[in-house]
Chain A
Amino acid sequence: MAEPLLVVNEARVVYDVPGGQIRAVDGVNLTLERGETLALVGESGCGKTTLAKAILGLEPVTAGTIHVDGKGVTDRLHGLAKRVGIVWQDPHASLDSRWRVGRAIAEPLLVNGFEKARVKERVREVIEQVGLDPALASRYPHQLSGGQKQRVAIARALALSPPLVLCDEPTAALDLSIRAQILNLLKDLQANLGLAYLYISHDLTTVRFIADRIAVMYLGRIVEMGRTNDVFTSPRHPYTLALLRSTPSLENLGRVPDILPGEIPDPRVRISGCNFRTRCPYAQERCASDNPGATGEDDRVFFCHFPLTPSSVG
């Protein structure tokens, strides 16, 4: 069997801060196959963006390893951009307002030693791939709409034909009707180019549409991972269930969604045992003493001493 495109093995990212340490990523294991979409979901501060930065080599891992396309991600970033592209949340912030769109897309090509004579052609190619008129290459970002800007950001991520693209909340800043266009585009590009996406989002409705598998994070750890449909229809971890129930849905009109009490605790304070126990309605003594290990098989794991019985939703 070929090695997965992305392998994250016991990755840790730890920051020293006044008053203690923050384990932003605390022993994460995951793999991503070619052509597959894995969604990382969780609330602010759960470590999903830090993990993405670690995969991009922007945040050195304190322990553990990350391999993309067979090569380890180290602090020597040379060549990594050919293996991983990134689309950030806010295209307005991720594009230089003084650069024409064409130059923004060409930059990764020039930096990574792409054949100079072919740069223009390649820029044109990716602009067309994301459904824009090549004439837009001579425009500045402020002359584009929000949806067009995000398409440019996607084109730039694709310029070097990386097999893996990280998407960090790529539709969160977009209006509903535009969001649908971008989600469709991401799916089309995946089908045509065989891309793999690591899709980071807190929006479960979007994730359900785009992801093959989903990993739910809480305070730096993955608490549950599995096929999207399995996780949505039969969550096993109480936190996954709380997230699903808190998401407003048009199926439950006139109902304020269920509630998970409290907030994410101060990350500087280490919690013994299971991270989630301070908010978990099912927590018992054992949860305070032992950190739950992985339960389940390859494509369905959860980390809980007292998992929900299968199919408690729907």
Chain B
Amino acid sequence: MPILDVRNLHVAIEGVEILRGVNLFVEEGETLGIVGESGCGKSMTGLAVIGLLPGDGRVTQGEVLLNGENLVTAGERRMRHVRGGDIAMVFQDPFTSLNPAMRVGDQIAEAMVLHRSMSWRAARKEAVKMLESVKVPAPASTVRKYPHQLSGGQRQRVMVAMAFACRPKVLIADEPTTALDVTLQAQILALLTELQEQEGTAVILISHDIGVIGSVSDRICVFYAGRVIEDGDARDVLRHSKHPYTQGLLASLPGGEERLSSIPGQPPDFRTLGGACAFAPRCPHRFERCDIEPDLLEGDLDAAKRRAVEERRTFIDLTQVELDAGTVWALPEEVARKHRAIPIRRDGTVFHVAMAEPDDEAARQEVSKALGARILPSLASSDAIIAAIERIYGGAPMSMAAHRAACWLVERSEVRVG
């Protein structure tokens, strides 16, 4: 189960709907990258999750589930506990998010006093350790410094220390490296990744920089006009993007060419959005169906197929098979071994796809026939399922998220990209 699950989130500010049904989730130990241009709603999503919407902004519809608990309906007292406790944040500018009149050690300690019920004395000691873990030089003396006495890179390290001080389950990092130079950016990204691995934190990284997103994300959500318009494994989204907007963004990155391609026009005005696809006015593939805005569509399992081809295995689609929750379809061990089949895990629950040698009809038939020959009984957790699969196949299942795009083209096979 995802640790944080945002479902159909709608947010309005001054009567204008700026988030229009955002769906995303993040799992323990996973990094979800959110990418999009100014005003697309990526930062607002982060703020809505922690209940810090600006002005009269409010959630008009949808849920933010933290471990199953709906934060949208949680009271302010509960949210104060969640913020900085279960969900921590790192913002772009460390200078404005630190208190200039408070020693940095005390700022780190404060979070632990509030959220971990520690004494100030113990929390101050712990703050030194936290600074050490974020590799600030001379942590014992740095705790006594004020933010203006630190360099930009060190201030951002202090922010990271504060964020991890209460062992959050989820970390939301909104443009954490945008104000930094590339060498410092690399340092902070490496630090975030290292701490995340240690603590098993789920990280939501928000950035306009596709390079940054690509270098650390497991999965990616692309935002446009207040919605997620594409999501999937980082590799799938960036190498085989399905949505024309994502394709346009990637094409506008400088490469070796003489001229850059660019997306014509401007992002839409939220006040004038009708029921049509918000990207349609700028889209080179627009057709009749675009008058109705599509939800995230998966089309077929082309990502799984493509990977099967890359791995030189035949793809067998099991989506047509009715699966009970927690039930795993598996190949008998000898068949799995013989045909080098790999199970694929999708979106947390195991969703079994088997693969064999390519272009071998006999093998294909054999695998198809053998499938379902063994049905594991319902297993309590996805961990148990994975353990069972590892036992049968002698390896962990390949993790693969669904790759979806909010575009009707996904359903038109003749324009499929990849």
Contacts and interface: CB of A to CB of B under 8 A. Distances in A.
Contacts of B151: 263
B260 A180 contact: yes
B184 to A, nearest CB: 7
Contacts of B217: 254
Interface string B147-163: 00001111000000000
A176 B250 CA distance: 9
Interface in A240-275: 242-243, 245-250, 252-261, 263
A44 interface: yes
Contacts of B189: 248, 256-257
Interface in B150-201: 151-154, 181-187, 189-190, 193
B235 interface: yes
Given A242-B183, A248-B209, A253 B234 contact: yes
Nearest to A183: B260
Interface stretch (B67-75, B251-259, B409-417): B251-259
Contacts of A213: none
A208 B254 contact: yes
Contacts of A263: 151-154, 184
Interface residues of B, number: 44
A252 B254 CA distance: 16
Interface residues of A, number: 41
Contacts of A147: 266
A260 B182 CA distance: 10
Interface centre among B151, B181, B182, B261 (most CB of A within 10 A): B182
Contacts of B254: 180, 183, 205-206, 208-210
A250 B252 CA distance: 13
Interface string B236-264: 00110000000011101111001111110
A206 to B, nearest CB: 6
A246 B185 contact: yes
A256 B252 contact: no
B208 interface: yes
A212 to B, nearest CB: 13
Contacts of B261: 180
B266 A254 contact: no
Contacts of B131: none
Consensus secondary structure, chain B interface? helix
Given A202-B182, A243-B182, A263-B184, A145 B266 contact: yes
Contact of A175 (B208, B214, B258): B208
Contacts of A230: none
B252 A176 contact: yes
Interface string A145-164: 11100000000000000000
B259 A260 contact: no
B262 A259 contact: no
Contacts of B184: 43, 263
A120 to B, nearest CB: 28
B193 A256 contact: yes
A138 interface: no
Interface in B135-155: 151-154
Contact of A184 (B208, B249, B250, B262): B262
B211 interface: yes
Interface centre among A175, A183, A204 (most CB of B within 10 A): A175
Given A202-B181, A255-B215, A256-B216, A177 B187 contact: no
Given A250-B238, A259-B190, A180 B182 contact: no
B211 A248 contact: yes
B128 interface: no
Contacts of B211: 205, 247-250
Contacts of A146: 38
A176 B252 CA distance: 7
Nearest to A254: B234
A181 interface: yes
Contact of B215 (A145, A208, A210, A254): A254
A122 interface: no
A177 B249 contact: yes
Contact of A253 (B186, B214, B253, B266): B214
A250 to B, nearest CB: 5
A168 to B, nearest CB: 16
Given A205-B211, A250-B210, A253-B234, A187 B37 contact: no
Nearest to A247: B182
A178 B214 CA distance: 20
Contact of B252 (A179, A202, A204, A257): A179
A260 B183 contact: yes
A264 to B, nearest CB: 8
Interface string A175-202: 1111111011001000000000000001
A254 to B, nearest CB: 6
B186 A250 contact: no
B238 A256 contact: no
Nearest to B259: A184
B181 A44 contact: yes
Given A44-B181, A248-B215, A257-B186, 8 more contacts: A175-B37, A177-B37, A180-B262, A184-B259, A248-B209, A249-B211, A254-B215, A257-B189
16 contacts: A175-B208, A180-B260, A180-B262, A184-B262, A202-B182, A205-B254, A208-B254, A210-B254, A250-B211, A252-B215, A254-B216, A254-B217, A256-B190, A256-B193, A257-B182, A263-B154
Interface of A: 43-44, 145-147, 175-181, 183-184, 187, 202, 204-206, 208-210, 242-243, 245-250, 252-261, 263
The 9 closest A-B CB pairs, nearest first, are: A248-B211, A209-B254, A180-B252, A180-B262, A43-B181, A175-B37, A180-B260, A177-B263, A246-B186
Interface of B: 37-38, 151-154, 181-187, 189-190, 193, 208-212, 214-218, 234-235, 238-239, 248-250, 252-255, 258-263, 266
